[in-house]
Amino acid sequence: MSVLGGRTRPSHSKLKAVVAAGCALLVAAVGCGGESGVSAGAGVTAYVEAPLCAGAKRELAQADGKAGEVRVRVVCLAPAAGGGGVDLAVVGANARRATEDSAGVAYLEEPARPSFSRPIVESAGVAVVRDRSGEAAMGRLLKAIRDSGNAGSLRESVREALG
The answer to whether position 139 is within a domain reads yes
The answer to whether position 31 is within a domain reads no
Domain count, the chain: 1
Longest dimension (CA), the chain: 59
Do 110 and 49 meet the contact criterion of CB atoms below 8 Å apart?
yes
- pLDDT digit string, tens, across residues 52-92: 999 999 999 999 999 998 999 999 999 988 777 889 999 99
CB-facing half-sphere around the CA of 81: CA atoms within 13 A: 13
Percentage of the chain beyond pLDDT 90 is 56
pTM (two decimals): 0.73
Q: Which CATH number goes with the domain that contains 154?
A: 3.40.50.2300
SS3 for 139-162 is: HHHHHHHHHCCCCCCHHHHHHHHH
Average pLDDT of the chain?
80
The answer to whether position 25 is within a domain reads no
How buried is 16 (Cβ within 10 angstroms: 0-12 exposed, 13-18 middle, 19+ buried)? exposed
Do 65 and 42 meet the contact criterion of CB atoms below 8 Å apart?
no
pLDDT exceeds cutoff 90 at 49:
yes
Residue, of 27 and 86, whose pLDDT is higher: 86
Residue, of 148 and 1, whose pLDDT is higher: 148
Structural domain including 90 reads 43-162
Residue 32 pLDDT = 40
Do 135 and 74 meet the contact criterion of CB atoms below 8 Å apart?
no
Residue 40 pLDDT = 56
Residue 35 pLDDT = 35
Q: How far apart are the C-alpha atoms of 139 and 142, rounded to whole Å?
A: 5
Kind plus residue range of the DSSP H or E element containing 86: strand 85-86
Q: Count Cβ atoms below 10 Å from residue 32 Cβ, excluding itself.
A: 25
The answer to whether position 20 is within a domain reads no
The answer to whether position 11 is within a domain reads no
The answer to whether position 17 is within a domain reads no
Residue 67 in 3-state DSSP? strand
The answer to whether position 77 is within a domain reads yes
Kind plus residue range of the DSSP H or E element containing 105: strand 104-109
The answer to whether position 116 is within a domain reads yes
pLDDT exceeds cutoff 60 at 27:
no
